Structure 1
Amino acid sequence: MKEWYLLYCKRGEQQRAKAHLENQNVECFYPEIEVEKIIRGKKKAIKEPLFPCYMFVRFDFEEGPTFTTVRSTRGVSDFIRFGGEPKVLSGDLIYSLKLINEDCMKSKSLAEFLPEIGQKVSIKEGPFVGVDAIYKEADGEKRSILLITLINQKVEIKVDNSEIEY
């Protein structure tokens, strides 16, 4: 009977391990999340594993492949064990993670919730409450850079996205 197990993979080799395991008819799953990163000076949305170095696998060790075969696959370090045996995971847990992962991938990206560059906004919380500003750009996932006028000069400030009203 097929069971779910948790594998620890070598750093940065989850995709390699997944490819080699799927060639052995092992079902693999690791949830991913889309994050914005600055790569070579440009913002890019990339997918990263939610649990770096960990992967859920499902197979029947009696029919093959064996634990040793899976553990010896390129990119895999070892099973997560409790005692001497690999720990069997609940199928409901994996099913729930898959549903959550699908919902996250279908949801809108962060950029769709932020104002457009150059749009006038007002600050509704914090030390600059009530001040009108111009939206410049996102600063990570939770903050934005705004331009406000102080003493006849445009000044950049960073505020939490929850403090912006547009």
Structure 2
Amino acid sequence: MNWYVVYTKPKWEKRVADQLMQLGVNCYCPVIKTIKQYSDRKKKVEVPLFTNYIFVQLDEKDRNLVFLSRGAVRYLYWLGKHAIVKDKEIDTIKEWLAKDADISITQYNVGETIKVNSGPFLNHDAVIKEVTNSHYVLILESLGCVLKMKHKPEEN
């Protein structure tokens, strides 16, 4: 069975995954813990790693089951076909989240091609699209996605 990427309504990722699991569909919605600032307090919350996306594992013939959830919008396509994620990539994301690993890139320039050396996209080639004081924007052409990764500038 293949892993497919499902695009969801905004802020429906966990809800769609729960609904599909109740229907017997194998789902994965990777989440990270972050601190959210409210007007009167800070709270640690779990938010999806990929906003508006979840992963589902099903047979080709069962792909329409995801639309039984009101929050599922469509499948993600890559080069005119349903985007398929390898089991190894799902396992890598799970391992990375279990370790709470930080991704860091230093001294790179826009347009350079790099090989990601940690995290869920280990050993994938990426093109650096943008560099700021707080983050890098990387294009992973092989996966058809754009990543925005935070970094801490090096202190001299």
Normalising by the smaller structure, the TM-score range is 0.5 to 0.7
Partner residue, 1:87: 83
Task: Return the offset for 1:60.
Answer: 1.7
Conserved in 1, the CA contact under 8 Å of 2:17 and 2:29?
A: no
How many angstroms apart in 2 are the aligned matches of 1:80 and 1:71?
A: 13
Task: Return the offset for 1:74.
Answer: 1.8
Give identity over the alignment, percent.
25
Q: Secondary structure at the match of 1:102?
A: helix
How many angstroms apart in 2 are the aligned matches of 1:83 and 1:24?
A: 30
Over aligned residue pairs, what C-alpha RMSD do you find?
Answer: 2.6
Gaps of 5+ in 1: 108-141, 143-159
Conserved in 2, the CA contact under 8 Å of 1:17 and 1:75?
A: yes
> Does structure 1 residue 51 correspond to structure 2 residue 47?
no
| TM-score where L is the length of structure 1 | 0.56
Conserved in 2, the CA contact under 8 Å of 1:71 and 1:79?
A: no
> Does structure 1 residue 28 correspond to structure 2 residue 16?
no
* Within-5 A mapping of 1:1-150: 2-62=1-61, 66-104=62-100
How many angstroms apart in 1 are the aligned matches of 2:86 and 2:73?
A: 22
Tell me which amino acid in the other structure corresponds to 2:60: F
Gaps of 5+ in 2: 103-133, 135-151
Q: Secondary structure at the match of 1:74?
A: coil
Deviating above 3 A after TM superposition, structure 1's stretches of 4 or more consecutive aligned residues are: none
1:113-147 CA distance string (max 9 Å, x none): xxxxxxxxxxxxxxxxxxxxxxxxxxxxx9xxxxx
Tell me which amino acid in the other structure corresponds to 2:55: F
Q: Secondary structure at the match of 2:64?
A: helix
How many angstroms apart in 1 are the aligned matches of 2:50 and 2:35?
A: 17
Tell me which amino acid in the other structure corresponds to 1:50: L
Aligned length: 107
| TM-score where L is the length of structure 2 | 0.59
1:64-93 CA distance string (max 9 Å, x none): xx2223134221111001355422211110
Tell me which amino acid in the other structure corresponds to 1:33: I
Task: Return the offset for 1:40.
Answer: 3.8
